[in-house]
Structure 1
Amino acid sequence: MKTPKAIFYLVLLIMTSCAQTKEEQIVVYSYVEEPHSYAKPNNAFIKHLKLDITVDFETEIISGKATYDIENNNSTQIILDSKYLEIESVTANGKETDFSLGVNDKQLGQPLTITIEKNTKQIEITYKTTKDTEALQWLKPQQTADKTNPFLFTQGQAILTRTWIPIQDSPQIRISYEANVQVPKGLMAVMSAENPKEKNESGLYHFQMEQAIPAYLIALAVGDFEYKAISERTGVYAEKSMLNKVQEEFSDMEKMVSAAEDLYGPYAWEQFDVIVLPPSFPFGGMENPRLTFATPTVIAGDKSLTSLVAHELAHSWSGNLVTNATWNDFWLNEGFTVYFEMRIMEALYGKERADMLALMSRQDLDDELENLKETPNDTKLKLDLKGKNPDDGMNSIAYDKGYLFLRTLEEAVGREKFDAFLKQYFKEHAFSSMTTEKFVTYLNTNLLEKNKVTFNTEEWINQPGVPKNQAVISSDKFKNVELTLQDFILTGKIDKETTKDWTSQEWVHFIRNFPKTMTADQMKDLDTALNLTNSTNSYIQMVWYEQALNHDYHGKNIDSKIEDFLISVGRRWYVETIFKAFKRNNRMEEALKIYEKSRPNYHSVTAKTIDDLLGFEPTKEVE
């Protein structure tokens, strides 16, 4: 019961609150602490971005203006992330305003603090990139497939978008965007937005992304490429010499989208296209909404490596639709996506194909657990990356331990109930961010408690290693591959009829499981019989070259093929695997000689990883 005095103060509080103007009222937002962004979105955040930029290949600079609609929560400043950018001027509500760049951090760059008023609704920044900008890779014509025109692409994940756009570079801050991009005539520009299907004469392209996305998904590519449709809502971009084989390789894209929708609800982005970039692209793929960026290393000629497309498509739900709130929660993006990828592959190509992929995922996880045995806390799903580059957390733990956790959950509750849970999860949290803690609460309420299932979620997420209750994955085809390898080790012979119908996955499993006692002579015998050194499948090349180094298999042909591969391919996973093998087998002198030649072809993401691995300190000439 309230006393009269208490009632008086309550009425006074209400009257005072009502007397405040709308601008003076402080709204309570739920953005969480972010160790990899300077932004303070609970005070002020951006809602919409308009870019007006020019791409200059001669100077290798992007310049122009970025205009932001902002939500100001009674603050006198807004903070953006900036790294290696030249900030020329800033306005607030059309008037020039004060701004400052803070102390530079090697990982995070600088906070860009802008003075605003309580009624500020828009800011505009005039800026340009510099030679140090990490997100951009400028390619000479000879570094492309057609070798006739230059090429540019961006890579924003995890925190590199701030190096080509001043932005609040936290995955929990979602914005819509539009852009006017001027490029040289004869080239086309595409973005993670509504895209042109053919070049125009002016070189000025307009883009619109109406759905709100995190900054790391803003992407741009500029080059001499063309578009070819697969269905009304799917298609591919590629350089002219590659266009037909890319379309053929990815001809199942519409089937993949339909299979994904059958599993977890409608595709929310209208269009699903893929652009195949030059070979220096550092990842297998990047799930930029509406336009996945992909490496040419997946063009195998037999659709055997297109699980990558299924993976990037799955991100349209897990990652793009429901996004990890911070990079400490990265497994929420990738573990879910690997699980979803396997389900798409099973729906299209059958359980045996999916099980082979899942077993390879399990083997990758074992390798990563071994690599991280000295730092067991790095094998937790929920990470602590404060003070580190979030790129350090982008390893097999997030992907493959995350997948194994979800597959084990599926087996515990049953596939039908698990599918219904995931479909509800994506629907209820669409276009929002998710923390690990929030997900665990949702999981307990909507799946485990609802179905009276006890599960050691805490152990899976917050403890090192892999719990004992884990899904057991097996493959009959892989068992046959292992028998073939055993026969070869015993007899020194291999029947080519046995291997003629093998998929890429069977070949990789065969090669990855060579015993440590295998000799260089046995490697040579296999190579003579199967011509593995001259394989045109990049995945097979990668594992075969690694094993050649592991088993001291030398020769003019194999050595030159390894060098050519490292110079021509920039996919980080592949080149890191091979350079690790050089280092592991005390062949650092050779590795460094090759790296001096190959490094100029690598994106900064790959170059940084190999620099650290080999202890390489680039000179200005090498850079």
Structure 2
Amino acid sequence: MRILLAAALLAGSASLAISPAAAQTIPAPILTTPEARDVWTHAEPQVARVTHVALDLDVDFASKTLYGSAVLDILAAPGATQVVLDVNDMDISAVTDASGKALKWTLGAKDTASADIGSALTVALAGANRITITYRSKPGATALQWLPPEMTFGKKKPFLFSQGQAILNRSWVPTQDSPGIRQTWEATLRVPGDMVAVMSAEKLSGDKGEALPDGRRQFRFRMDKPVPPYLIAFAVGDLRFKPLGPRSGVWTEAPMLDKAAKEFVDVEKMIDAASKLYGPYRWGRYDMLVLPPAFPYGGMENPMLTFLTPTIVTGDRSNTDVVAQELAHSWSGNLVTNATWSDSWLNEGFTTYFENRIMESLYGKEQAATYADLDWDVMQREIAAAGGQTGAATRLNGEPGAGEVDYTKGSNFLRMIEYTVGRAKWDAYLTSYFDRHAFQPQTTAGFLADLRERLLKGQPELELKLQLDRWAYGAGLPGNAVRVHSATLAKVDTRLAAFNAGGPASAVQPTGWTTQEWLRFLNGIDRQQTPARLKELDETLGLSASGNAYIQSAWFELAIANHYDPAVPYLRGYLSRIGRGLLVYPLYKGLMKQGDWGQPKARDFFAEARPTYHPSTAAGIERIVAGQE
């Protein structure tokens, strides 16, 4: 029985019907159908796979390295002689079995297809089902950003955080770094005595950790639910905590704490709304960590501790959809995960749809319509930029890393199903889907098969109406896509039309506008403008000096397109202050399109700002300024 179970978990061709309770103790199956093959891992999980990781690490700010050990539990198929792991630019000093006996290991050449894929670490098992790897990360580890005090809110102590998605954790955790190889984990971190460590897991040593004889502090954590390895995350800094409710709270530095707590006051209501929609929240706590501005994303859905950019803390709660997005990942992504990054829409598209439903539950249909209407605009721009109706990059199931198409086209796919079959049937199906596939990987083919079996139930007319394969595998946007119109944005459109027709900027009167209204207006302004018109806009609406990072980014795009020099000093400061890719990538791309006016600026600004960016953001901008994107 034990051998048969191991074989099933190593090489399941489809998701198994495992109860949610059992799924937390039994390793998730490895999908072996062709579409489940992960081209971004060296691992051979159908032969031997990691089921548990135990980290024991020292955090050394002086050398900008982590050092210590990782103990891996291995589930191997009968006759397996080795396990293959993913590592990237890591110093490995020893590999042993549970008794301390040295095991033979080899480190392969670094993959040339992508710098992030790294190398294969092959370990001869010699009968071992537990191995210990002693190692040290490199100062340039791609998942880690070491911030000097001046780049923090407090300006007194350094800061460190990790960002693992999609395949960056292999630069500090030697494991099988693929979303389809779910693992439980635990960790012990030793940090300077005046700092606090937090992780995406249950705290075992309290908020302040345990004092050590050498003056440092030790923090222990445990994640007893199998998760994809990109969700192992941590941060170390001068952190404070403020509770928001019985299940939630916010971590950040002291100067940001009260602002963040005020911004996220509705998080308990969000948890309730999400649970009412699609089943119980299974992760215990939902805390949030507001990071310094160098954080490269809006949010990262690390279980039990969502990482958030400070750019969403705007004082009016108009960007809490980002919190709803990351909370929704507790179901789509963390609970049911894309088996490979070619199917990332199963995370992001589901989550964007789910986020909109949470916002509707809390704030009403009109506010949800505002977000959906803006998403439609983004989708149209992204599809056009990716080749339009025939562009290969507009497919949901395609090359890894399709970007915003995964979010917007993916969510519209699900909205179309809801509108076609009815909300009641759709919600019942989704609740069942998350429950039946909890703590397991999924593929596009697996989702479509499940949908046909559980929802369509052999109805050919409904199949024809939905166009499932066209949505999942085809380019462009199918004709049955659903556009949601916002009355709020329609009012903005009226003022926008008047401005584009030559009306004065003073007539715009944006007092009380949310970020979403600002974005509709700024993104809708005709792209060709005179210097006088831009000056009128800037001085009347205070755009260059705005305290809202979203507004500034949208304004700078327009300013760049028209070589508006008065905005350049503000742009330079912005690019050195903001590290969120969504807000800075378009600005560098815009500069590179402006020939002799913009390209030198792009290179100069990047050279100046590069130390402030996360390694993944810096790599993306480097490709832009090199003319590769």
The Cα of 1:132 is off from its aligned counterpart by 3.0
Q: Residue deviations 1:332-357, cap 9 Å, x none?
A: 00000000000011111111111111
What residue number does 1:212 align with? 226
1:197 alignment partner, one of 183, 203, 207: 207
The structural deviation recorded for 1:453 is: 2.1
Residue 15 of structure 2 corresponds to none
Match of 2:591 in 1: 582
Indicate the residue corresponding to 1:611 in structure 2.
Answer: 622
Q: Superposed, which structure 2 residues align to 1:414-425 within 5 Å?
A: 414-425=422-433
Shift of 1:141: 0.6
Out of 101, 104, 112, the residue aligned to residue 98 of structure 1 is 104
User: What's the CA shift string for 1:476-519, capped at 9, x where partnerless?
Assistant: 12111111122233453245684212111011100000013432
Shift of 1:450: 6.4
Residue range with higher mean Cα deviation, 201-210 or 457-466 = 201-210
Q: Is the 8 A contact 2:527 2:558 kept in 1?
A: no
TM superposition shift of 1:58: 0.2
Please state if 1:111 is matched with 2:120: yes
Q: Verify the 8 A CA contact 1:487 1:494 in the aligned structure 2.
A: no
Q: Hey, what does 2:523 align to over in structure 1?
A: 512
Asked whether the equivalents of residues 95 and 133 of structure 2 are also in contact (C-alpha less than 8 Å), the reply is yes
Relative to structure 1, the CA distance from residue 134 to residue 616 in structure 2 (aligned partners, 3 Å threshold; closer, same or farther) is farther
1:356 is matched with: 370
Q: Is 1:225 aligned to 2:225, yes or no?
A: no
- Cα distance in structure 2, aligned partners of 1:206 and 1:472: 48
> Contact 1:179/1:206 (CA < 8 Å) preserved in 2?
yes
Within 2, Cα distance between the matches of 1:527 and 1:72? Answer: 63
Which residue pairs with 1:559 in the alignment? Answer: 568
1:303 is matched with 317
Deviates more, 1:284-293 or 1:452-461: 452-461
Cα displacement string for residues 110-163 of structure 1 (whole angstroms, at most 9, x for unaligned residues):
111101134x22111101101231101111111111111011101110011111
Q: How far is the alpha carbon of 1:584 from its aligned partner?
A: 2.1
Hey, what's the Cα distance between the residues in 1 that align with 2:613 and 2:527?
A: 31
Q: Give per-residue Cα distances to partners, 1:33-59, cap 9 Å, x unaligned.
A: 221111111111111111111000001
- RMSD of aligned C-alpha atoms? 1.9
Is the CA contact (8 Å cut-off) linking 1:197 and 1:226 kept in structure 2?
no
- Is the Cα–Cα contact under 8 Å of residues 492 and 522 in structure 1 kept in the other structure? no
Q: Which residue of 1 is the match for residue 21 of structure 2?
A: none
Instruction: Work out the CA distance in 2 between the residues paired with 1:523 and 1:24.
Output: 67
Q: Does the C-alpha gap of structure 1 residues 201 and 241 become closer, same or farther in structure 2, counting only changes over 3 Å?
A: farther
Q: Which has the larger radius of gyration?
A: 1
Contact 1:82-1:112 within 8 A present in 2 as well: yes
Residues 566-577 of structure 1: pairs in structure 2 closer than 5 A: 566-577=575-586
Report how far residue 462 of structure 1 moved: 0.7
Report if aligned partners of 1:226, 1:243 keep a CA contact under 8 Å in 2. Answer: yes
2-side partners of 1:406 and 1:77: how far apart? 42
Asked whether the equivalents of residues 273 and 291 of structure 1 are also in contact (C-alpha less than 8 Å), the reply is yes
Native 8 Å contact 2:500 2:525 kept in 1? no
Matched, 1:82 2:87: yes
Q: Which residue of 1 aligns with 2:27?
A: none
Question: Which residue of structure 1 lines up, in the alignment, with residue 59 of structure 2?
Answer: 55
For 2:72, the aligned partner's letter is Y
Could you say what secondary structure the match of 1:447 adopts?
Answer: helix
Alpha carbons 1:43, 1:72 under 8 Å: kept:
yes
Corresponding residue to 1:240 among 254, 258, 267:
254
2:22 corresponds to: none
Deviations 1:557-590 (A, max 9, x none): x211111000000001111011111122221011
Distance 2:536 2:484 in 1: 32
1:179–1:208 Cα contact (<8 Å) kept: yes
Partner SS state of residue 468, structure 1? coil
> Once the two structures are superposed, what CA deviation does each residue of 1:424-460 show, in whole Å capped at 9, x if it has no partner?
0000000000011110000111112367622200111
Shift of 1:24: 13
Kindly indicate whether the alpha-carbon contact (under 8 Å) linking 1:421 and 1:447 is maintained by their aligned counterparts in 2.
yes
1:207 is paired with a residue of what secondary structure? strand
Q: Which amino acid aligns with 1:381?
A: L
Deviation of residue 70 (structure 1)? 1.4
Q: What is the number of equivalent residue pairs in this alignment?
A: 588
Code of the aligned partner of 2:59: V
Match 1:37 to one of 41, 46, 54: 41
CA contact (8 A) 1:81 1:162 kept: yes
C-alpha distance 211-523 of structure 1, shift in aligned 2 (>3 A): same
Question: Take 2:429 and 2:354, find their aligned partners in 1: how far apart are those partners?
Answer: 13
| Structure 1: segments with no counterpart, 5+ residues | 1-17, 618-623
Confirm or deny that 1:488 pairs with 2:499.
yes
Q: What is the match of residue 168 of structure 1?
A: 176
Whether the aligned pair in 2 keeps the contact of 1:381 and 1:462 (CA below 8 Å) is yes
Cα 1:23–1:348 change in 2 (3 A) is closer
Q: Give a deviation string over 1:225-273, Cα, whole Å, max 9, x none.
A: 1110000101000101110001001111111101100100100000001
In structure 2, distance between residues paired with 1:315 and 1:26: 30
Give the Cα separation in 1 of the matches to 2:487 and 2:578: 33
TM, length-normalised to structure 2: 0.91
- The answer to which of 303-312 and 189-198 deviates more is 189-198
Which whole-Å CA distance do the structure 2 matches of 1:171 and 1:179 have between them? 20
Residue aligning to 1:124 = 132
2:396 alignment counterpart = 381
1:274 pairs with 277, 288, 299, which one?
288
How far did 1:191 drift? 0.7
CA distance in 2, matches of 1:314, 1:145: 28
Report SS of the residue matched to 2:156.
Answer: coil
Percent identity between the aligned chains?
A: 40
Q: Which moved more, 1:57-66 or 1:516-525?
A: 516-525
Q: Contact 2:278/2:431 (CA < 8 Å) preserved in 1?
A: yes
Once the two structures are superposed, residues 577-622 of structure 1 have per-residue CA deviations (whole angstroms, 9 ceiling, x without a partner) of 11111122221011111111011110111111111011089xxxxx
In the TM superposition, what whole-angstrom CA distance separates every residue of 1:315-348 from its partner, at most 9, and x where no partner exists? Answer: 0000000000111111100000000000011111
After TM superposition, list the pairs within 5 Å mapping 1:445-524 onto structure 2: 445-449=453-457, 453-454=462-463, 455-495=466-506, 498-524=509-535
State the match for 1:70 in structure 2: 74
Partner of 2:16: none
Higher relative contact order (CA 8 A, sep 6+): 2
Task: Find the residue that maps to 2:202 and give its secondary structure.
Answer: coil
Aligned to 1:9: none
Kindly state the Cα deviation for residue 531 of structure 1 after the two structures are TM-superposed: 1.3
Q: Give secondary structure in 2 for the equivalent of 1:237.
A: strand
SS in 2 for 1:534: coil
Does 602-611 or 581-590 show the bigger shift? 581-590
* Aligned partner of residue 208 in structure 1, secondary structure: strand
Counterpart secondary structure, 1:254: helix
Q: Which moved more, 1:562-571 or 1:197-206?
A: 197-206
Letter of the structure 2 residue corresponding to residue 190 of structure 1: V
- State whether residues 376 and 483 of structure 2, in contact with CA within 8 Å, keep that contact through their aligned partners in structure 1: no
Does residue 152 of structure 2 align to residue 144 of structure 1?
A: yes
Equivalent-residue separation in structure 2 for 1:192 and 1:613 (angstroms): 32
Residues 310 and 341, structure 1, Cα contact 8 Å, conserved in 2: yes
SS of residue paired to 2:544: helix
Amino acid at match of 1:42: Q
Task: Determine the C-alpha separation between the residues in 1 that align with 2:373 and 2:6.
Answer: 55
Contact 2:496–2:508, Cα closer than 8 Å, also in 1:
no
Question: Could you tell me how far apart the structure 1 residues matched to 2:70 and 2:301 are?
Answer: 24
Q: 1: CA distance between counterparts of 2:525 and 2:391?
A: 27
Q: Is the 8 A contact 1:318 1:336 kept in 2?
A: yes
3-state SS in 1 of match to 2:280 = coil
1:186–1:199 Cα contact (<8 Å) kept: no
